[in-house]
Amino acid sequence: MPAELDLSRRLPEARIPELPNPYFGKVRDCYDLPDGSRLLISSDRISAFDQILAVIPWKGQVLTQLARYWFDHTADIAANHVIDYPDANVVRGKRVTILPVEIVVRGYLAGSTSTSILTQYKAGKRQMYGHQLPDGLRDNQALPQAIITPTTKAFDGGHDEPLTAAEIIDSGLLTQTQWDEVSAKSLALFARGQKMAAERGLILVDTKYEFGVDDAGQILLADEIHTPDSSRYWIASGYEAALNAGTRPPSFDKDVIRSWVVARCDPYTDKIPEIPPEMIEKTACIYVEAFEAITGKAFVPDLGGTSPLDRVRAHLAPYFTG
């Protein structure tokens, strides 16, 4: 990590009244422009357990630049929404109608949330998301093959509910043709992600894709791809030992903050304690390390403008309507 990482520069939110049609998501603040494009501004908010846990300096730039890296390296597999990148924290995408199913792909028996396959497996379940898992798998062991564990896309901030392929089609959430296309593309994207991660000493454990339909009816990969927010990565060199010890493999994803929170409360019912500054600093470093490990490139913090919001505003001024 660059020793000079300035932790005072933060983008907690990007509310820009001059931009039209705002949507303030958990992590990104979005605006739909009259020309059919959507600005997605990555803030530095970190979200888990359906809430915002903290603001992590540089996280927004890391996420935007990591998604960019992966969009660039997977465009041959799946057409994506990207038009351009007006700022280090901003992607301008073709606006699509997001399909109501989140395509989660998992290569390992992992996770800690109620919808994760490890949690369900430990509770004795073998049949989940329409898949039959073999007996005798250990915590964090590789699955015989990657599987899709789809969930409903909770547009209203609610909980994601597990689905099977049959339920998705029977309920009309997706047509058979749409399911065939997004499931094939998701498995191919995941395989590419795993292969490229492995070349850099990393394991892409699981991830989530969002697809949408454009005006011409074409399915595009939207949102983000293979970022630490949408994915879990492990460090390959520590994997085998952790598997044997039955401990969580080393990682640089937000499991660090999650684990800290879970050790102190039930995050779904209790008030989450304030994350201490050391944790925030550590997490900022983890995101930067993730960028560098995944891409093999140095992270160059964008120090333009008097503040990140000032810089984002200047870069987005051409789109101001109000």
Task: Say which residues have a Cβ less than 8 Å from residue 27's Cβ, sequence separation at least 6.
Answer: 42, 43, 45, 46, 47, 60, 63, 229
38 binding ligand ADP? (CB under 6 A): yes
- All residues at 6 or more sequence positions from 230 whose CB lies less than 8 Å from its CB, including other chains: 207, 208, 209, 223, 224
H, E, C per residue of 95-161: CCEECCEEEEEEEECCCCCCCCHHHHHHCCCCEECCEECCCCCCCCCEEEEEEECCEECCCCCCCCC
Query: Of 22, 25, 250, 304, which one interacts with ligand ADP (CB under 6 A)?
Result: 25
> Which lies closer to ligand ADP via its Cβ, residue 1 or residue 272?
272
Residues 95-154 that bind ligand ADP (CB under 6 A): 95-96, 98
Of the pair 27, 90, the CB lying nearest ligand ADP is at 27
Amino acid residing at 51? Q
**Which residue number places its CB atom closest to ligand ADP?**
25
Asked whether 243 and 140 are in contact (CB, 8 A), the reply is yes
The answer to whether 27 contacts ligand ADP (rule: CB under 6 A) is yes
92 near ligand ADP (CB under 6 A): no
Least distance (Å) from ligand ADP to the CB of residue 67?
10
As measured in angstroms, the least distance from the Cβ of 136 to ligand ADP is 36
3-state SS class at 255 = helix
Structure tokens of 181? 């296309």
Q: Which stretch binds ligand ADP (CB under 6 A): 92-100, 131-139, 252-260, 266-274?
A: 92-100
Residue-wise over 50-86: b if at least 16 C-beta within 10 A, else e?
Answer: eebbbbbbbbbbbbbbbbbbbbebbeebbebbbbebb
Distance CA 155, CA 97 (A): 12
Is residue 210 a contact point for ligand ADP (CB under 6 A)? yes
Q: How far is the CB of 104 from ligand ADP (least distance, A)?
A: 14
Output 51 or 247, the one with its CB closest to ligand ADP. Answer: 51
Q: How far is CA 1 from CA 256, 281, 289, 292, 301, in A?
A: 17, 12, 6, 8, 11
How many residues bind ligand ADP, per CB under 6 A? 17
> Which residue of 12, 13, 26, 260 would you call a contact of ligand ADP, by CB under 6 A?
26
Does 68 help bind ligand ADP (rule: CB under 6 A)? Answer: no
What is the DSSP pairing of strand 51-55 with strand 82-87? unpaired
Smallest distance from the beta carbon of 241 to ligand ADP, in angstroms? 34
Q: Can you tell me which of 30, 83, 213, 256 binds ligand ADP, judged by CB under 6 A?
A: 30
Q: Does 212 bind ligand ADP (CB under 6 A)?
A: yes
Residue 28 touches ligand ADP, criterion: CB under 6 A: yes
Binding mask 234-273 toward ligand ADP (x if CB under 6 A, else -) reads ----------------------------------------
Q: How far is the CB of 3 from ligand ADP (least distance, A)?
A: 30
Q: Which is nearer to ligand ADP, 250 or 267 (CB)?
A: 267
For residues 80 and 251, which CB has a smaller minimum distance to ligand ADP in the complex? Answer: 80
Give 153's contacts (C-beta < 8 A, 6+ positions apart): 98, 99, 100, 101, 102, 160, 210
**CA 24, CA 104: separation in Å to the nearest integer?**
23
Residues of the shown chain interacting with ligand ADP in the complex, contacts defined by CB under 6 A: 25-28, 30, 38, 40, 81, 93-96, 98, 210, 212, 222-223
